[in-house]
A and B are shown apart, each in its own frame.
Chain A
Amino acid sequence: MTAPAPGTAEAAQHRLDPSPAPDDPELLKRIDDHWEERPGLTGLLTTVDHKRIGLAYIITAFFVFLLAGMLALTMRAQLAQPQGDVLDPETYGQLFTMHGTAMVLLFATPVLIGFASYLLPLMLGTRQLAFPRLNAFSYWLYLLAALLMASSLGLNDAPDGGWASTTPLSSTEYSSGHGIDIWALAVVLVGISTITSAVNFLVTTQKLRAPGMGIDRIPLFVWSVVAMSLMAIFAVPALILAAGLLALDRLAGTVVFSPALGGDVLLYQHLFWFWGRPEVYMLLLPAVGIVSTIIPVATRTSHAGYRWAVVAFAAVASLSFVGWVHHMSTTGIPTGAAGFFAVASTIVVIPLAVLYSCWIATMLLGRVRFTVPMLYVAGFLATFLVGLISGVMLSSLPFSLQTADSYFAVAHFHYVLNGGVVFPIFAAIYHWFPKMTGRQLDQGLGRWSFWVMALTFQLTFFPMHILGLLGMPRRVYTYEEGLGWSALNLTISIGAAAFAVGVLLTLVNVALTLRRGQRTEADPWGGDTLEWSVPSPPPRYNFLATPAVRGVSPLWEPPGGELTSSGDEDATSALGPEGALERASTVTSGADARPSGRVTAPEPSWLPVVAAAAVVVTAVGAVYQALLVLAAGGAAGLVAVLWWTWQTEGDGR
């Protein structure tokens, strides 16, 4: 089924549901007042608006991206020549640890959570996430964790045990100082933040869909976020355990990872990678969800194989839990066990191939418009494919034994993370920037940014495959002359600098557009999902009248038809402007999303930021063994949380 020509918000709204009040400014003003938040910093600190929080996530994550990128550039400066003297080994160790940890935990995960926070209610046709204050709490926890990590770098006491902080290197015996403790702490905080976000996204998708949005009409991006969230629920506890036990071993005298006293060093790796394996797919699935969103819009054709795609998400999510040992193939694991995990890891390729088939089919069925978002998607398709191939190679045990911890591995994971996650993130920026800001990014500058990034990416990361096969190990701060590695390293370093220029072009684009960019309408791309039916940027309450959903691409459905009504007045009365006035959203139940009640959005509140700060203060007190700090943080946190639980009844939930 193909789309009509792109329309304005009014046209789209009228197709779905004739809005009663575009000509009633007084009502709109009253609704706006009911959703108002306080101005300035106070408003930001007390916000419960999922869009504001989503933007905060994205902006913070991009600061981290830039910082972590600069760490990489510094490392590449050191490696550009043999026996470089830009960095000493200790500092180099801190840099690669921080680069990896920041990119995975403080950039990639949060930026995708940020997009999810912003888009889920809009795509589902509702006015709020299930737990708005919890969403704010998730963000503040993440921000504080990021600041904590950044401060450790400033104090030259950054973690330096690699991004996985593997024992025994990360145990007190080999790593003194507080760097690893800060790492463990930040990791636990981000873990909790991810879990609370996951719960929020799951319950929102379960209970707050627009009437008529049955489970076969849920947008694929939402499905990918659901898959990510389910994975987080079951995987992140392992990370919290790994980092928590490490911290306790270092600070509280436990000996879980000390072989001399009955502990086991490998246990840490099992715990860490039990999370680590699913984590990379937790990053990939929302990225793939973005791709599945943009391709239909660019080709004006519904996604081919919608159900195949959903099943593929589920398959990737499940299979990702049985592959963790392949990160430990060189640790002396019995061959039989390693073989099982090798096979399990390889099988994950199959659902990914299914997804590729869906995308290619969609592109063949329609006509591809190579808009800037679609260019980044094309970049993803090509680059991630290379990463898939190198991944299949690495999952083979004999190959892995030769190339583990070499630059081949570095090449692989940058292809799948930088190519497979960062490219879709840039696609998402170009795709949703108009919706978020009401301005359209410069498409010419966007094309330049894409092409520079895409080409320099290959220049930077492809040679790493060769380096790995030539024997260069990862995490080394320098190398000797005459090994045949010098020219390749220099190429990589030049490529990295050029890649940074590509990234910078998009940043410049964003900055210029925010100042005096071209204003845009509600639906510049001719999109099919509900977020394109509201103004750009959306009002705080998202929808004046919650639309009825009659297909998986609601904006491309023919007009007409009535809203679902279950006869339950409380539920359906929240659908229209009166519901917006009362800060209400309709709760729907069942696979076919029938109205069954309402929720009311909480008022802006200090509780989330106070609770998050209290948690962080308590943890910092634990790390530095400052009992007074710990007690103060704990007390404040307890008060905040109890006050919060008291509030929920008063809010009428």
Chain B
Amino acid sequence: MSTPSTGTASRDTSGPPRQIEPGSDARLAPLTQGRAPGWWGMVWLIATEAMLFAGVLSTWFFIRTISDVWPQGGAEPPALGRPGLFSAVLVLSALPLSWAAASLRRGRMTGVRAALAVSWLLGFAFLINLGFEYQALEFVPGDSAYASLFHLIVGLHGLHLVVALAMGAVVQLKAGTGRLGPGRHLTLQIFTLYWSFVTVAWLAVFVSLYVA
């Protein structure tokens, strides 16, 4: 059959289609320029989630502005010590991910998996502490709008952290089964974006609810 006369840049298609093995480099080759669609998808997801947190924190400050007494309902403002400590733990949990990225570039999969595990454990520790803090809260949601929003905002963040931990487990599994490698960074990049977002979101929550 005839091949096109002007530059479609397509090859002779008379033979069988070029077989590409799933997992082989050609199919998963990174772009020569610009970010992958999946990366951008995560960026937009984070933008919308950031708006969600902005909305809920605006609600927090709105209620605060119209309140004579803060916290409302005679609640004690929360202590800073332990939450502050574990906030630092959560921020630290984002750091091993750059170690993971560096290891991935060099093809050191054990380094990748170790870094991912450290990150995950730090995040998990934060979540466990969050559970204890939650139980220790003296107010229930129905006490006041302050109490409702406190529970809601911390709970909303906790939900995002649970999702991040689930994602982390999937990434760890992919690392362990050879689905990540040099030139195949996308999954780790996307995960790092989301994990970083969860960390930053907590900082915003912490400053708004505990410090301010």
Most B CB contacts (10 A, CB to CB) among A131, A199, A202, A566 go to: A199
Q: Which segment of B38-46, B87-95, B97-105, B107-115 sits at the interface?
A: B38-46
Inter-chain contact B47/A590, CB cutoff 8 Å: no
Chain B residue contacts of A202, Cβ below 8 A: 40, 44
Establish whether residues B10 and A587, one from each chain, have CB atoms under 8 Å apart when the complex forms: no
Contact B63 A262 (CB under 8 A): yes
The complex places the Cα of A562 from the Cα of B5 at a distance, in Å, of 10
Residues of B within 8 A of A208 (CB): 37
Which residues in chain B, 40-57, are within 8 Å of chain A measured between CB atoms?
40-41, 44-45, 47-49, 51-52, 54-56
B143 in contact with A261 (CB, 8 Å): yes
Bound form: Cα–Cα A270–B58 in Å = 11
Q: How many A-B residue pairs have CB under 8 A?
A: 222
Residue numbers in B under 8 Å from A590 (CB-CB): 33-34
C-alpha spacing A233/B52, complex, angstroms: 10
CB of A516, distance to nearest CB on chain B (Å)? 37
Q: Of A263, A271, A581, A596, which is in contact with the most chain B CB atoms at under 10 Å from its CB? A: A263
Beta-carbon contact of B13 and A577 below 8 Å: yes
Given known contacts A27-B13, A575-B8, is B48 in contact with A254 (CB within 8 Å)?
no
- Given A254-B151, A590-B34, verify A18-B5 contact (CB < 8 Å): yes
> Within 8 Å CB of B49, what residues of A?
237
Bound CA span A267–B4, Å: 64
Instruction: Please tell me if the beta carbons of A241 and B56 are within 8 angstroms of each other in the complex.
Output: yes
A576:B9 contact, CB within 8 angstroms: yes
Q: Which of B9, B20, B34, B41 contacts A582 (CB 8 A)?
A: B20
A23 neighbours in B (Cβ, 8 Å): 1
Task: From A207, A245, A597, A645, give the contact of B30 (CB < 8 A).
Answer: A597
Q: Are A563 and B34 in contact (CB under 8 A)?
A: no
- The segment out of B21-29, B76-84, B125-133, B203-211 that lies at the interface is B21-29
In the assembled complex, B118 has its CB within 8 A of some CB on chain A: no
Give how many A residues have a beta carbon under 8 Å from the other chain's beta carbons: 83
- B186 contact set on A, CB distance < 8 A: 653
Which residue from chain B places its CB closest to the CB of A566 in the assembled complex? B32
Interface residue A253 (Cβ < 8 Å from any Cβ of B): yes
Which residues of chain B come closer than 8 Å to A199, judged between CB atoms? 41, 44-45, 48
- In Å, the complex CA distance between A18 and B4 comes to 7
Do the beta carbons of B44 and A198 come within 8 Å of each other? yes
A571 to B32, CA, bound (A): 9
CB-based contact B8/A20 at 8 Å: yes
Minimal Cβ-Cβ distance residue in A for B64 = A262
In the assembled complex, the CB of A353 is this many whole angstroms from the nearest CB of chain B, namely 30
Indicate whether B196 reaches chain A with its CB closer than 8 angstroms: no
Least Cβ–Cβ distance between A456 and chain B, in angstroms: 40
CB distance from B91 to the nearest CB of A (A): 24
- Which A residues are in CB contact (< 8 Å) with B8? 17-18, 20, 545, 563, 575-576
Are A255 and B142 in contact, with the CB atoms below 8 A? yes
Instruction: From the candidates B5, B66, B170, name the one contacting A642 in the complex (CB within 8 A).
Output: B170
Selected from B2, B44, B147, B151, the residue in CB contact (under 8 A) with A233 is: B44
B167 lies within 8 A of chain A by Cβ: yes
Q: Output the nearest chain B residue to A576 by Cβ-Cβ distance.
A: B10
Chain A: minimal CB distance from B128 (Å): 20
Q: Tell me the complex Cα distance, A23–B13, Å.
A: 13
Say yes or no: A578 contacts B38, CB within 8 Å: no
The residues of B that contact A241 with a CB separation of less than 8 Å are 52, 55-56, 59
B144 to chain A, nearest CB (A): 4
A24 with B1: CB separation less than 8 A: yes
Q: A131-B41, A590-B33 are in contact. Are A270 and B10 (CB under 8 A)?
A: no
The one of A134, A274, A565, A568 that contacts B7, using a Cβ cutoff of 8 Å: A565
B14 and chain A: residue at smallest CB distance: A27
1/0 per residue A569-611: CB within 8 Å of B? 0111101111101100001011000101101100000000000
State which residues 240-280 of A face B: CB under 8 Å: 240-241, 245, 248-249, 252-256, 258, 261-264, 267, 270-271, 274
Query: What residues of B have a CB within 8 angstroms of the CB of A650 in the complex?
Result: 22-23, 179
Kindly state whether residue A21 has any CB partner on chain B within 8 Å.
Answer: yes
List of A residues within 8 angstroms of B151 by Cβ? 254
Are A578 and B13 closer than 8 Å at their CB atoms?
Answer: yes
In Å, the complex CA distance between A646 and B177 comes to 11
Q: State whether the Cβ of B157 lies closer than 8 Å to any Cβ in chain A.
A: no
When C-beta atoms are compared, the residue in chain B nearest to A211 turns out to be: B9
Which listed residue (A20, A256, A267) contacts B10, Cβ 8 A?
A20
Are B10 and A570 interface neighbours, CB within 8 A?
no
Asked whether, in the complex, the Cβ of B10 is within 8 Å of the Cβ of A233, the reply is no
CB of B48 within 8 A of CB of A563, answer: no
Known: A596-B31, A597-B30, A600-B27. A648 touches B148 (CB 8 A): no
In the bound complex, how far is the Cα of B143 from the Cα of A105, in angstroms? 34
CB-CB < 8 A to A563: which residues of B?
Answer: 6-9
Chain A's nearest CB lies how many Å from the CB of B82?
25
Residues of A within 8 A of B32 (CB): 566, 568, 571, 596-597
A189-230 interface bits toward B, Cβ cutoff 8 Å, 1 = contact, 0 = none = 000000100111011101110000000000000000000000
A270, B6: Cα distance in complex, Å: 59
Q: A340 an interface residue at 8 Å Cβ cutoff?
A: no
Q: Which of B31, B55, B152 is in CB contact (< 8 Å) with A587?
A: B31
A237 touching B45, Cβ below 8 Å: no
Q: Which residues of B contact A599 (CB under 8 A)?
A: 37
B55 surroundings in chain A (CB, below 8 A): 237-238, 241, 271, 274
State whether A203 and B40 are in contact (beta carbons under 8 Å apart), knowing that A563-B9, A576-B8 are contacts in the complex.
yes
Tell me the bound Cα distance from A652 to B11 in angstroms. Answer: 21
A264–B66 CB distance below 8 A: yes
A71 on the B face (CB < 8 A): no
B31 & A271 in contact (Cβ 8 Å cutoff): no
Q: Would B63 and A589 count as touching, CB distance under 8 A?
A: no
A638 contacts chain B at the CB level, 8 A cutoff: yes
- CA gap between A208 and B17 in the complex, in Å: 23
B196 to chain A, nearest CB (A): 18
Q: Check if A130 is an interface residue, CB within 8 A of chain B.
A: yes
Option from B17, B22, B48 in Cβ contact (under 8 Å) with A581: B17
Spell out B's residues near A (CB within 8 Å): 1-11, 13, 17-18, 20, 22-23, 26-38, 40-41, 44-45, 47-49, 51-52, 54-56, 59, 62-63, 66-67, 72-73, 141-149, 151-152, 166-167, 170, 173-174, 179, 186-187
Q: Which residues of A contact B (CB under 8 A)?
A: 17-21, 23-24, 27, 30, 34, 130-131, 134, 195, 198-200, 202-204, 206-208, 233-238, 240-241, 245, 248-249, 252-256, 258, 261-264, 267, 270-271, 274, 545, 562-563, 565-566, 568, 570-573, 575-579, 581-582, 587, 589-590, 594, 596-597, 599-600, 638, 642, 645-646, 648-653
Going nearest first, the 5 A-B pairs with the smallest beta carbon separation are A576-B10, A589-B34, A652-B27, A254-B148, A597-B31
A234-B51, A577-B10, A581-B17 known, 5 other contacts, Cβ within 8 Å? A20-B4, A20-B8, A253-B142, A255-B148, A652-B22
22 residue pairs A–B, Cβ–Cβ below 8 Å: A20-B3, A203-B41, A204-B37, A233-B47, A234-B47, A237-B51, A237-B54, A238-B51, A254-B142, A254-B151, A255-B144, A261-B72, A262-B146, A267-B59, A576-B4, A578-B17, A587-B37, A589-B33, A596-B33, A645-B167, A646-B173, A652-B28
